[in-house]
């Protein structure tokens, strides 16, 4: 088989070189996107330059880490197999329909988290959608992709421009305007609901308390809390306190956002980029069920797909894991229950042979 000669689980060349290249490419792509989308910086707001700068760093970090991650043999194998199966002509339309289905259920509704616990779902859904909503507004704003102007003919009408192209206009005093200009506050409230629900769960669940770690589990919540609360303070300062401490508050808010952007590629938030990439595993599993099944060499029962077992052998080879047994059999071809039984039998036989010798 051609695939065995060149094991797709094995990456070639230097990891750091590849990752740096992809990091730089991601940064360059974003710089290009900012230049084009803001019409040669015409609509770029210099006041937001620190946000854009931090995002460029995050883009480098994300490109770097994503590429590093894809160089791990199991990830690499699933990545390529996932695309291979997804793009197969005879499956393509079925796959596309299934993709909508899993995006709706796993990403929009996040049902799989609800099955673990309702509290976990509440926390995650509000956090995720609050953050995504805020990101969908602030990134285009700070890149100069989105801006607002009043009409020359009337100060009472606002116009929104995307990439310099007018997309919608609405009166200053309208529900649309209120929603639009308070969208970040709505997002902040959603995030706060999520943060409190998460803290509530983490503070009461003994299991979670035993395994949680500050940097991985609490730090992200603290960061999101800081962003949301300083953001809400800005609104309060503008509308309720005649701009009291506005400059200080906006600097504080900027610092919280920038720290979070810098943390994005390295901490828990990386899963936002990881999980969608792994929808491919779902297609892999479906193809596995339809294909040939693996039969255990010990008990003769089916225990998974042949494709999965063969691919695992490739992954193991790339990781230098050697499961080849003496009589030309492979440990990967033994099902997990038989592995357990076999271990017990071997240990038992050791005692039996000692007993017979003595």
Q: Which residues bind other proteins (CB under 8 A)?
A: 69, 72-75, 77-78, 112, 115-116, 205-207, 209-211, 268, 271, 274-275, 278, 281, 284-285, 297-301, 303-304, 308-309, 312, 315-316, 319, 321-327, 329-332, 334-348, 350-351, 354
Nearest to other proteins of 150, 329 (CB atom): 329
Nearest to other proteins of 251, 342 (CB atom): 342
Minimum distance between the CB of residue 135 and other proteins, rounded to whole angstroms? Answer: 18
d(CA 131, CA 144) in angstroms, rounded, equals: 20
What angle is formed at CA 95 by the lines to CA 91 and CA 97, rounded to 5 degrees?
130
Nearest to other proteins of 120, 253 (CB atom): 120
Secondary structure letter of residue 292 according to DSSP: P
How many Cα atoms are found within 13 Å in the side-chain-facing hemisphere of 166?
A: 9
Q: Which residue has the tokens 């393509």?
A: 92
Sign of the dihedral through C-alpha 84, 87, 91, 96: positive
Minimum distance between the CB of residue 79 and other proteins, rounded to whole angstroms? Answer: 8
Nearest to other proteins of 245, 339 (CB atom): 339
Minimum distance between the CB of residue 174 and other proteins, rounded to whole angstroms? Answer: 40
Minimum distance between the CB of residue 32 and other proteins, rounded to whole angstroms? Answer: 30
Minimum distance between the CB of residue 288 and other proteins, rounded to whole angstroms? Answer: 10
Nearest to other proteins of 238, 347 (CB atom): 347
Q: List, in sequence order, the alpha helices (H) in the chain.
A: 2-5, 15-37, 49-70, 73-86, 92-102, 111-114, 118-142, 175-204, 206-211, 219-240, 246-263, 271-277, 280-290, 306-318, 336-357
Based on the number of CB atoms within 10 Å of its own CB, is 158 exposed (0-12), middle (13-18) or buried (19 or more)? buried
């Amino acid at each position: 088989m051609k695939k065995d000669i060149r094991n797709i689980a094995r990456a070639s060349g230097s990891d750091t070189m590849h990752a740096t290249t992809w990091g730089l490419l991601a940064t360059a792509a974003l710089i290009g996107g900012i230049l084009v989308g803001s019409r040669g910086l015409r609509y770029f707001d210099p006041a937001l330059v620190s946000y854009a700068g931090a995002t460029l760093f995050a883009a480098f970090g994300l490109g770097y880490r994503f590429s590093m991650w894809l160089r791990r043999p199991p990830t690499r194998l699933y990545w390529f197999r996932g695309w291979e199966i997804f793009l197969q002509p005879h499956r393509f339309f079925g796959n596309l329909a299934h993709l909508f289905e899993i995006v709706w259920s796993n990403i929009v509704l996040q049902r799989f988290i609800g099955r673990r616990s309702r509290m976990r779902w509440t926390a995650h859904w509000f956090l995720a959608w609050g953050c995504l909503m805020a990101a969908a507004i602030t990134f285009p704003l700070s890149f100069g992709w989105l801006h607002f102007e009043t009409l020359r003919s009337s100060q009472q009408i606002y116009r929104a421009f995307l990439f310099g192209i007018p997309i919608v206009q609405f009166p200053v005093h309208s529900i649309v305007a209120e929603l639009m200009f308070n969208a970040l506050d709505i997002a902040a409230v959603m995030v706060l609901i999520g943060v409190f629900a998460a803290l509530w769960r983490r503070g009461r669940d003994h299991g979670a308390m035993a395994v949680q770690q500050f940097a991985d589990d609490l730090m992200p919540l603290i960061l999101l809390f800081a962003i949301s609360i300083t953001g809400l303070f800005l609104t309060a300062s503008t509308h309720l306190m005649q701009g009291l401490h506005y400059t200080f508050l906006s600097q504080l808010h900027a610092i919280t956002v920038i720290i979070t952007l810098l943390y994005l590629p390295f901490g828990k938030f990386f899963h936002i980029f990881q999980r969608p990439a792994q929808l491919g595993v779902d297609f892999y599993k479906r193809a596995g069920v339809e294909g040939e099944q693996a039969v255990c060499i010990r008990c003769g029962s089916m225990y998974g797909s042949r494709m999965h077992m063969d691919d695992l052998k490739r992954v193991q080879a790339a990781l230098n894991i050697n499961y080849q047994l003496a009589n030309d059999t492979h440990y990967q071809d033994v099902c997990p229950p038989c592995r357990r039984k076999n271990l017990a039998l071997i240990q038992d036989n050791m005692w039996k042979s000692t007993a017979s010798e003595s």
